[in-house]
A = this chain, B = another copy of it.
Amino acid sequence: MSSSYGENIRLTIFGQSHSPAIGMTMEGIPAGQRIDRELLQRFLDRRAPGRAVYSTPRREADEPEFLSGLVGNVTCGAPIAAIIRNTNIRREDYAAFASLPRPGHADYTAQMKYGGAQDRSGGGHFSGRMTAPLCIAGGICLQMLAAEKIQVISRILSIGKVHDVGDLTESTAQKRFPTVDDACGEAMCAEIEDARAQGDSIGGVIECAVLGLPAGLGDPIFDGMENRIASAIFAIPAVKGIEFGSGFASAALHGSENNDPYFVEDGRVKTLTNHCGGILGGITNGMPLTFRVAVKPTPSIAKEQRSVNLKTMEPERLAITGRHDPCIVPRAVPCVEAAAAIAVYDALLGHKREEE
């Protein structure tokens, strides 16, 4: 195990790329909460494939069917279950990889873990497609958070070596290609297009902020906000790093530079800087909770690569011909928001219990 997450909510993600359906169950959302299905669909559409130059042409609607947990569109207290049918299945695409593991993919590790019984088609349970149910769960949590005036926003901080400039704001997050500086955004798109043209792929960094959090959220030691968010974010395939506040840059600073001085504004305690990313001792201080996520380049590339035939144990070369994004960073943005929303809302439910 495990494809399950949460302390106060309990989320299970199921499905394989080419199984009859993918989906999620989520317990713990309080009864009586209205879910805006259109808003949820718009959120899911941000992740769905086939929308842009940088995205795979495989296009599925990603429209969830809710099987339980709702009466009309209102939660009834029972576990919420929702599924998305897999309709556009081409099992033959992947037959070759059964014994020839694709570099950078989970083909080989899944083979070692499951002794050959894993579902190889399309990456099986390791497919990026499993982020669709993550986004269903996260989209619901985002709505729960919004009802408490908590926003989760994000931007693309870099694609390859092209970096955005300026500070993340709510208006940035609403752009179709979310960068503060549109010229940077265009340069990033060019970088992606360039990778595609070369039969290659490219990685990037996503920055995320949670606004409107109360101070006092999170727990000591193993359940701090960093632990909780990291634990959820690494559920997104291709994520290889996370840093909070100034993160790795803090490691090069002196304490006198990195400590965030307190001051009072509008009767509230705030900090002048936010190197700590809104978290001290694992617990929120009421400032924006900020973090950055490193996304590796899509491992599926048309360029020829070296691998090993697991049957013969002889070297072999492979070129991946299927439908693949040259850069998954844009589609990973809502996934990061979803994972953050799940982690934060789970912590918030615990916080409410304590506040009583």
Residues of B within 8 A of A15 (CB): 67-68, 78, 81
> Interface size of A by Cβ–Cβ distance < 8 Å?
155
Residue A110 CB within 8 A of the other chain: yes
Select one of B27, B31, B240, B264 contacting A2, CB under 8 A.
B27
Name the distance in Å between A69's Cβ and chain B's nearest Cβ: 7
Main SS of chain A's interface residues? mixed
Residue A38 CB within 8 A of the other chain: no
Given contact pairs A10-B12, A261-B103, A253 touches B356 in the complex (Cβ within 8 A) = no
A94-109: contact bitstring with B at CB < 8 Å (1 yes, 0 no)?
0000000101111011
Closest to A203 in B: B251
Whether the Cβ atoms of A103 and B231 lie closer than 8 Å is no
Residues of B within 8 A of A126 (CB): 220, 281-282
Select one of B16, B112, B158 contacting A216, CB under 8 A.
B112
Residue of A204, A246, A259 contacting most chain B CB atoms (<10 Å)? A259
Whether the Cβ atoms of B25 and A14 lie closer than 8 Å is yes
A61-83: contact bitstring with B at CB < 8 Å (1 yes, 0 no)?
00001111111001111111101
Residues of B within 8 A of A19 (CB): 67-70, 78
Whether the Cβ atoms of B76 and A117 lie closer than 8 Å is yes
Contacts A31-B118, A103-B262, A109-B218 supplied; 8 other A-B pairs, CB < 8 Å: A1-B223, A2-B28, A4-B27, A104-B260, A112-B285, A230-B230, A241-B248, A258-B299
- Among all A-B residue pairs, the 6 with the closest Cβ atoms: A106-B281, A241-B243, A353-B353, A78-B125, A201-B255, A112-B216
